A and B are shown apart, each in its own frame.
Chain A
């Protein structure tokens, strides 16, 4: 048995397979100790037999966002102790004299230097004295550190000095994060930041996963315990405990993988996932025609560079709760300020400033009686009366609402352009997979603006992330900065890197595939493009450069900056069963009619209950499809179709 569990802010979602069918269990989260909800779900589901548990956790994410990690001692080459705080010496806001920056996660009294040095070519210029390392260990003990991040200059070129220091510091018995292990790549600040975040999270995440593992033991399940990484791949929980920096986007990665796998099953391999919630929106592009889910190595999470592979998820601070306002010169803005959970939108009963959710209500795109299964009634008259006070130069709440929706959609559109057009992908070739509480409300408008042919609203929208975790492959990433000319024989280098793989996966019985790739650039450039390490890697590089940046120069020398290995072990095949088709008529799901506004015109559309729709049912816009956790809007001119897996497919009718 396989159980996938995704811890969210409100619900802990579980998906598991029983008797051939996928089952969903939702329990309330226990934010104080997320493990309580996880264990209660496991106890409910577990039948005493052998089970593999896969987990998407926000323990690391939250510790990072709330700055509640460990007291980290940052140890580096003497003279560079402050680099963890200086960063790249630039300010975040060009024109704001009053902007504050987040305090460094390593306070000044926890930054330490070692008198040692390695050169760019790996030559050790100076080794640390044993006495100095002993003194350092004593200082770290005295400073009350709970975790250690060790990042010496050029340790990726030769880890000798870092290993020597680690051997002494290990005696302190604290979690030790080593830069040549976690990220053997150049650029000291980005590497130091990644290693420091790892050290910052490891006591908390390590302890959490250990406790869960301990609690599972008495259940005599004997199966594997695994964790979702930000890269969209699964790793054993013990690796996640050692390298928690790889899990900071565990939950969102599950959503992206879930969206991709569901879409693949329905026949769409090129998707843009669109997950719009209350305060933020995540978008990602996955091109199954090329390499599938794409990872990046230069992510910024909560203002900190994290350079281990992460799915290329672009997050913007706009969602259903984003506030609308007019500025001194009469232009309207939506966000970045949000009404949050308190006071929330006007229509929930406490807020006083218009939000995107309020606009959707006024436009008839949210039904006041069918929100969260009817448990929350949305207050239309309260919303209208507060909107009347915030009209600016506009005449009616309807006009204001139309504008709010348009601006919110423009922000979403820009986010999608960043991950598509800006990366050389044409959105017209992709299917938009929309989920999250607000995604299906705006999906059609967005698809139209980007001229995307199709929208897919997945079945199980509330447990999509858990589904992704269940279906994901096991993936381990290895890398090393080498700085080589393009004509050298890479085989010995890759062989060296593959030794790490054999050490790490000796316990796995399932055969793995190993994908080699290269980070390349024209000699002298500062950024690299990652291409597969085939015999034609140079051609691929020139072609990709031309596509992305508008030129290529085949006469120029190409430099191999880093080697990468990705080891993938396919997850246990979980086949989603198709449902029996219905009669093609959706009338069994019809709840009634509702008036809606599109482009300033009032239209009347039907309202359907999502859970009652059957495969082959067809819908015609304007229409609303309501379900517990979301509402889907079909504007006029759109048609809907329920596929065999109960996904909702929306297209513009010809």
Chain B
């Protein structure tokens, strides 16, 4: 390549650089050209960790769908103002939030999408006997065999009654000790939930810089004050921005922690149960002496 050609290329690419850089930077800061060719400042809405294929609607207008891999969505070009955000997916209960978009800022949403029909499966105490097996053994009923899954879940229920203990001391074990964790005081990551006088509170115990948007304050914050009496609660399966609460009538509700803009989504999950426990993506509950499970992963 001749030096002359090189010089031409450098000049051309430098011109591209000079032109493109301000455009990209202004764009990334939320500046847009309006219909009447004026420069306007816009804001955005970030929808976090939504189910793959879910759609976002702003004031009833479709904006975007989540991919199967990248489950976060950034809705841009939103003029400052108040909006109704709907997140919908077939087979899930609709989620709604009323938010305020400010110029050059992004409002973050954490939709709690709960399947319309939650599949619960019974976990039997004993492994069911195959009828053909019974025939082969000449109708003689064998001794029932205990179901391992059932015994494991029973163990989980027993463990839940004990105060949480870690085998190894952690750097913040003293801090955690002061939280006096128990059935009405629960911790997940750095999010501390407590039930005091039938009122649910949240407190962020991490660094201020890492404060989640759905909490939004370093102080203890009242997030739920139901009319019915809270019997038990735990974090929602696989999530730390929502919790499951059991009322004295035995019903289980999934409730989001986010109370910003004065609206909080909550959904009934189970009509009645005597007690429940959450373990990772699984929710186990008893109806009488029958044990059921719901897998929130599927």
Asked if chains A and B come from one complex, the reply is: no
